[in-house]
Structure 1
Amino acid sequence: MIATAYETLRDEESRADYDYLLAHPDQYYRHYYNYYRHRVAPRVDVRLVIGITILVISCLQYYSWWSSYNAAVAHLVTVPKYRHMATEIATREGMLASGARGLRGRARRDEQDALLREIIRTRIDIRGGYRRPRIADVLLIKIVLLPWHIACFAAWHIHWIYRFGVRREEYGRDEKLYLVRKNLGLSAEHFESINEEQKEEFLRQELWLKKKFQVYHNEQLEAMRTRQAQSSRWKRYRRWLRSDGPGRITFED
């Protein structure tokens, strides 16, 4: 009895409910609700739950990224361009002959594919969404490093404003590409996966300038509309819209 009273009165919320019970003894249902609310409510630290949830999400992220990366490497082995590049590296460094020695048929093929996959992992730069996973990109590490990233972000913008807003310096190549990426609305990973020839074309057209980018954007939209107009599938779709169109529900008397 004493232990029960102690457990009840040491908690401020339970003590408030107990005082309310003494002041309003006729409100039975409310007292039952308060009693079972305290008995059934889980006594788990919310911070622990949040921490475990973040840890689980981070592990799933990292596993998913590695699965995507391995799938991308396995696909590149089947692409003639990258397979040829990896084969040339293996032949030039004498790895292909030694790796396949003594093997025949499918075993030799599997051994060769494994060697080419390893060369692609270590020698070929895979960019974009299928790049090699980094532990710094998982949710847990990002939360831990969030203050540092915020400080770096603020310092970078202050430096940008000082250089190009106050001192009126000319943009360098990296700054121009940054503005091009912002105009295109692409993420850093997506823009990084674009080949260098296309980036040079962006610079040649001076797409870091708003006016010239708007002209380029309008030209791309017009070219897309032209391709759609010339597409046989698009023509069939337009004919279908003119003749039948999407299904409609009508009500008759």
Structure 2
Amino acid sequence: MAAVSPLPVCLLLLVAALLLPASNAIYCDEDDCYDLLGVKQDANASEIKKAYYKLSLKHHPDKNPDPESKKLFVKVATAYEILKDETTREQYDYAVAHPEEFFYNTAQYYRAYYGYKTDPRAVLIGLLLIVSAFQYIHQLTAYSQAIESVKQTPAYRNRLKALEFERTGGISSKKKGTKQIDKNLENELRGEVDLQIQGVKKPSVWSLYGVQLILLPYFIGKLLTWQICWFWRYRVKKLPYAWEDACYLTRTSLRIPDSTWQNIDEFTKEDLVMKRLWEKANMERHMAEARKGSRRRR
């Protein structure tokens, strides 16, 4: 059997000798936290609290001007901060029982005292506010850019000129004899032009993620109420579909968003609703007719 070299053993003993006191030092320096408070290791929270109050009154700088007493007061306060909390107390007891696990004990200590202690709810609220702010800025930027693009189109300029003609009876245009619209009148007329841009909506606070999360219980309740009313009205009582509900079924059958549906003229809406496209046979017939019409246009 090979002999064990004494050098590695000596190194291990040296490391152990250095680490054993260090495990305690990260908490109460070289002192024992229980000894500083004068309590046993199995003392309960009430006993620890009473011992701390008694020692703090005795060694408080306002009560005792002795410099040594002031140092002892700091040590007692530190020991109490460690032992009053169940988590840090367990970590301290573990460090005393397992001084060889120096790196683990040090990591636990710094995580407890210098780790992130902010309430997760506050973090979530802050994150939602930041995300919502960026979302609103993005919506506002996209909408502004789309509006500016529309204002450069001939259709928009023609609409402004038509409104100017209606407002002034053509007098202003005849006087100027130019294509330029008066700036003040243009600013007034812009508010009367309905700019409907498909795929771009005006920024709304109600569409922000943070607001929607807050109103989630309301939306869930509203959805459940709507489902119950729908089931009672059209499944149990077998009533004919109301106009709004028929529009909803038609829109969902065609898989078009609400904003697109709102831009369809009333005659086309009525024609689509009358076809009852939510029924499979009617939808198949409608799609076949649409394909035939597309071929003829080609």
Asked if Structure 1 and Structure 2 have the same fold, meaning a TM-score greater than 0.5 normalized by the shorter chain, the answer is yes
TM-score, length-normalised on structure 1? 0.70
Match of 1:180 in 2: 250
Match of 2:286 in 1: 216
Alignment: residue pair count: 220
1:4 equivalent in alignment to 2:75: no
Deviations 1:120-164 (A, max 9, x none): 454415265323222222222222222222221111111111111
- SS of match in other structure, 2:199: helix
* C-alpha separation in 2, matches of 1:162 and 1:193: 31
* C-alpha separation in 1, matches of 2:283 and 2:190: 36
1:115 equivalent in alignment to 2:186: yes
Match of 2:93 in 1: 19
Give 1:89 shift.
1.9
> Do the aligned partners of 1:183 and 1:210 also contact (CA within 8 Å) in 2?
no
Larger CA Rg, structure 1 vs 2: 2
> Do the aligned partners of 1:128 and 1:192 also contact (CA within 8 Å) in 2?
no
Letter in 1 for 2:105: H
* C-alpha separation in 2, matches of 1:81 and 1:176: 33
Match of 2:269 in 1: 199
TM-score, length-normalised on structure 2? 0.61
Letter in 1 for 2:186: L
Match of 2:133 in 1: 59
Give 1:223 shift.
8.2
Give 1:209 shift.
1.7
Identity in percent: 26
* C-alpha separation in 2, matches of 1:7 and 1:223: 81
Match of 1:171 in 2: 241
Higher relative contact order (CA 8 A, sep 6+): 1
Letter in 2 for 1:93: R
Match of 1:84 in 2: 158
1:29 equivalent in alignment to 2:103: yes
Match of 1:150 in 2: 220
Two-structure CA RMSD over aligned residues (Å):
3.6
Match of 1:49 in 2: 123
> Do the aligned partners of 2:147 and 2:195 also contact (CA within 8 Å) in 1?
no
> Do the aligned partners of 1:73 and 1:121 also contact (CA within 8 Å) in 2?
no
Q: Going by fraction, where is helix more abundant, 1 or 2?
A: 1
Give 1:170 shift.
0.7
* C-alpha separation in 2, matches of 1:174 and 1:56: 37
CA distance 1:29–1:132, shift in 2 (3 Å) = closer
Letter in 2 for 1:70: S
> Do the aligned partners of 1:87 and 1:96 also contact (CA within 8 Å) in 2?
no
CA distance 1:96–1:124, shift in 2 (3 Å) = farther
* C-alpha separation in 2, matches of 1:12 and 1:97: 86
Match of 2:6 in 1: none
* C-alpha separation in 2, matches of 1:153 and 1:95: 51
* C-alpha separation in 1, matches of 2:85 and 2:118: 15
Deviations 1:81-120 (A, max 9, x none): 333223222332249988xx99x99xx67937x936x644
CA distance 1:16–1:194, shift in 2 (3 Å) = farther
Mark the runs of 5 or more structure 2 residues left unpaired by the alignment.
1-74
- SS of match in other structure, 1:44: coil
Q: Trace 1:91-130 onto structure 2 (pairs within 5 A).
A: 91-94=165-168, 111=183, 115=186, 119-124=189-194, 126=196, 128-130=198-200
Letter in 1 for 2:199: G
Match of 1:69 in 2: 143
Mark the runs of 5 or more structure 1 residues left unpaired by the alignment.
231-253
- SS of match in other structure, 1:58: helix
CA distance 1:10–1:167, shift in 2 (3 Å) = same
> Do the aligned partners of 1:127 and 1:189 also contact (CA within 8 Å) in 2?
no
CA distance 1:169–1:128, shift in 2 (3 Å) = farther
